[in-house]
């Protein structure tokens, strides 16, 4: 079975379900849970979910994130939660589950500095140090997220990108980096989609390659006196390294927005009061 092929793709004529480079876009109604369950149930998979939560963000969001993820993220499959915290963070108490493992990872770098640099630098070290040997697929998400429905194996792929809830439907004046000297630059007239930086996923080494590309871009920009955003660097990476699977806005809906008719089932919401 080709896991990049989604049964039922043409049952959603109201949305984009296949990209120009033939990567599926996952919406409710484009996949068969029973078929995927039988296929992946034989694979003996372990999926990782990494989240960074420090200081006040841990206090505000970590318990909601963990409780909802424990219920809805890859239900029925082995999951390793990688919780990247500082010494000030307290983990919520969760019911024991033989399919759920929780690992607390020390943060590398200055937690008072750039959030994304801290997160990605630390995650890269942990992927090389042990994660690549522990899981088959890895997701990294921001902690200001509440899972509401099944976030399942339909999302698995070699390189997974999340479509941005606002910019997917607006689809004009996309906020790509346009300064030619920036490593994140996508020239005017070019670009595919605008991706949400709060979710990335894929095979662990694919995630590592993305992180390395981001860090190289930041270093390049710093030397040139530029400071583009993490999300713009991410969009440049996916423009030049096409993702093999895209998640619809249903998988990262913004609570500040009213879901349009195309959004059939919100899998997770991103709380909008704290900006990542």
* φ, ψ at 244 (rounded to 5°): -90, -15
Q: Check whether 164 is labelled as a binding-site residue.
A: yes
**Any catalytic annotation for residue 231?**
yes
Selection from 151, 67, 145, 59 nearest residue 102 by Cα: 67
The reply to whether 231 sits in an annotated binding site is: yes
CA proximity to 144, closest of 196, 86, 109, 101: 196
Q: Determine the Cα–Cα distance for residues 268 and 199; give it in Å rounded to an integer.
A: 11
CA dist., res. 27 & res. 31, Å (int): 8
Of 154, 177, 206, 231, catalytic: 231
State the residue for tokens 């140090």: 129
How many whole angstroms separate alpha carbon 80 and alpha carbon 45?
11
CA 70 and chain centroid, separation: 17
Helices (H), the chain: 33-41, 55-57, 63-72, 115-126, 132-134, 165-170, 204-223, 230-240
Residues near 119 by beta carbon (within 8 Å), at least 6 away in sequence? 52, 84, 140
Structure tokens at 174: 């996309």
172 vs 189: CA distance, rounded Å: 11
Q: What are phi and psi of 2, to 5 degrees?
A: -80, 110
Cα distances from 238 to residues 95, 146, 162, 191, in angstroms, run 38, 25, 10, 9
- Catalytic positions are 231
Residue ranges at the known binding site: 164, 231
């Amino acid at each position: 079975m080709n896991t990049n092929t989604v049964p039922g793709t043409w049952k959603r004529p109201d949305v984009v379900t296949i990209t120009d480079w033939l990567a599926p876009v996952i919406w409710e109604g484009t996949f068969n849970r029973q078929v995927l369950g039988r296929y992946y149930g034989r694979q003996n998979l372990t999926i990782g979910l990494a989240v960074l939560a420090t200081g006040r963000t841990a206090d505000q969001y970590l318990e909601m994130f963990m409780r909802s993820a424990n219920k809805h993220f890859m239900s029925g499959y082995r999951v390793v939660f990688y919780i990247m915290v500082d010494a000030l963070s307290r983990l919520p108490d969760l019911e024991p589950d033989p399919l759920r493992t929780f690992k607390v990872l020390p943060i590398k770098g200055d937690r008072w500095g750039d959030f994304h640099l801290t997160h990605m630098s630390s995650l890269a070290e942990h992927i090389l140090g042990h994660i690549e040997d522990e899981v088959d697929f890895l997701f990294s998400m921001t902690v200001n997220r509440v899972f509401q429905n099944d976030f399942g194996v339909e999302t698995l792929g070699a390189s997974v990108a999340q479509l941005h809830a606002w910019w997917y439907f607006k689809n004009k004046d996309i906020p790509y980096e346009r300064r030619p000297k920036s490593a994140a630059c996508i020239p005017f007239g070019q670009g595919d989609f605008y991706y949400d930086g709060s979710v990335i996923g894929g095979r662990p080494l694919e995630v590592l390659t993305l992180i390395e590309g981001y860090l190289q871009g930041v270093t390049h920009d710093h030397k040139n006196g530029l400071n583009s955003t993490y999300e713009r660097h991410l969009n440049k990476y996916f423009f030049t390294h096409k993702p093999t699977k895209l998640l619809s806005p249903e998988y990262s809906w913004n609570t500040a927005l009213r879901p349009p008719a195309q959004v059939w089932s919100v899998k997770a919401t991103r709380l909008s009061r704290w900006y990542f």
